[in-house]
């Protein structure tokens, strides 16, 4: 019995830590949606791009690690910023599907570019953090995952503070609430869109570094983007704590389901149990666990 319990505990720890890393990617997604109501279908490709940048910088000769990490974040901020300016701003006020489609187009571009510029090889993101797993009772956790969890929690605290307390954050919430009214109140809406994308760039950069270290960097790194949807829907598309809680739940459910249900049904439940959970949740809370309820008026 004790061993069973230990096993269960290990599963939960493993699921929770990986779930937090899903949350990290989801944060980039939520930040954009929260401010601009744009759904970024290229989130996985953003992570991949950041991974490529980080891989190139970290393996460059004579580049200190800290500088390389900062430069990665800076480049991703610049990229997101430029992207908002060139692609998404002209689509402002256009139907939501147009924005979705633009991000799908962007995803195609981002998948096409690395083989030309970086080559098809799988690259690594070497980080000086060692390989020795940390123990947590009977469970162990890889160092990169632990750092990932810490970063996610820091982001959670930071972004929550930003939206709740800082002047800019409050303004951004106003923009999200109603763009027209925000404009009328003298808020420079476009500027806040740019800030939101830049913040998403930070989240993407950090996701790229951490996931890149875990998986290696090639075009397939973009697949991690698929994991974002159940996380954000469960938590609510526009909620930062929601992204984290959603990630935790999805990670743990995946982990436990695959160990306890798979043997009976032939495997692969990990793939859709989170979605089942999500649909169930949506039937009762159509805007996610933490999402803002919208009241429609005719």
* Number of other residues whose CB lies within 10 A of the CB of residue 102: 20
Do the beta carbons of residue 51 and residue 217 sit within 8 Å? Answer: yes
CB of 206 to another protein, least distance (A): 17
> Cβ 167 to another protein, closest distance in Å?
29
Closest CB 53 distance from another protein, rounded Å: 17
Cα-flanking dihedrals φ and ψ of residue 286, to 5°?
-65, -10
User: Closest distance between another protein and the C-beta of residue 61, in Å?
Assistant: 18
**DSSP code for 38:** -
- Helices 2-36 and 143-164: crossing angle in degrees, nearest 10, is 40
Is the Cβ of residue 174 or residue 282 nearer to another protein in the bound state? 282
* Cβ-proximal residues to 147 (8 Å cutoff; 6+ apart), any chain: 129, 210
Nearer Cβ to another protein (130/186): 130
Cβ contact 231:23 at 8 Å? yes
- State the minimum distance, in angstroms, from the CB of residue 157 to another protein: 25
CA distance 62 to 5: 48
Question: How many whole angstroms separate alpha carbon 252 and alpha carbon 34?
Answer: 26
Q: How many residues does the chain have?
A: 298
Tokens 């649909």 -> residue: 279
Smallest gap from Cβ 179 to another protein, in A, equals 17
Judged by CB, which is closer to another protein: 125, or 187? 125
Residue 22, judged by CB atoms within 10 A of its CB (0-12, 13-18, 19+), counts as buried
Cα separation, 76 vs 49, whole angstroms: 8
Q: Which is nearer to another protein, 61 or 284 (CB)?
A: 284
Residues facing residue 217 across a β-bridge: 123
Q: Which is nearer to another protein, 122 or 166 (CB)?
A: 122
Output the smallest distance, CB 282 to another protein, in A: 5
276 phi and psi, to 5 degrees?
-60, -45
Nearer to another protein, 89 or 173 (CB): 89
According to DSSP, the residues that pair with 140 across neighbouring strands are 135
CA pair distance 26, 228, nearest whole angstrom: 5
Shortest CB 121 distance to another protein, Å: 7
Phi, psi of 61 (to 5 degrees): -70, 135
């Amino acid at each position: 019995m004790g061993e069973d319990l230990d096993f269960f505990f290990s599963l939960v720890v493993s699921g929770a830590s990986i779930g937090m890393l899903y949350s990290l990617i989801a944060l980039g997604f939520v930040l954009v949606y929260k401010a601009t109501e744009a759904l970024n279908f290229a989130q996985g490709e953003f992570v991949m791009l950041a991974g490529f940048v980080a891989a190139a910088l970290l393996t460059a000769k004579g580049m200190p690690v800290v500088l390389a990490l900062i430069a990665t974040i800076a480049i991703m901020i610049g990229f997101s910023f430029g992207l908002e300016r060139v692609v998404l701003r002209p689509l402002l006020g256009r139907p939501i599907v147009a924005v979705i489609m633009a991000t799908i187009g962007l995803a195609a571009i981002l998948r096409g570019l690395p083989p030309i510029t970086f080559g098809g090889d799988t690259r690594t993101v070497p980080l000086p953090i060692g390989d020795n797993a940390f123990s947590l009772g009977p469970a162990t956790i890889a160092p990169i995952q632990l750092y990932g969890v810490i970063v996610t929690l820091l982001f959670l605290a930071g972004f929550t503070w930003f939206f709740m307390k800082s002047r800019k954050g409050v303004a951004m919430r106003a923009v999200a609430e109603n763009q027209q009214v925000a404009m009328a109140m003298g808020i420079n809406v476009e500027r806040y869109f740019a800030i939101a994308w830049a913040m998403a760039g930070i989240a993407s950069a950090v996701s790229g570094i951490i996931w890149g270290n875990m998986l290696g960097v090639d075009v397939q790194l973009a697949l991690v983007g698929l994991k974002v949807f159940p996380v954000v829907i469960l938590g609510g598309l526009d909620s930062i704590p929601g992204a984290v809680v959603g990630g935790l739940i999805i990670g743990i459910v995946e982990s436990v389901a695959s160990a306890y249900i798979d043997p009976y049904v032939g495997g692969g439940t990990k793939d859709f149990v989170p979605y089942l959970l999500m649909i169930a949740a949506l039937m009762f809370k159509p805007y996610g666990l933490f999402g803002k309820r919208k009241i429609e008026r005719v």
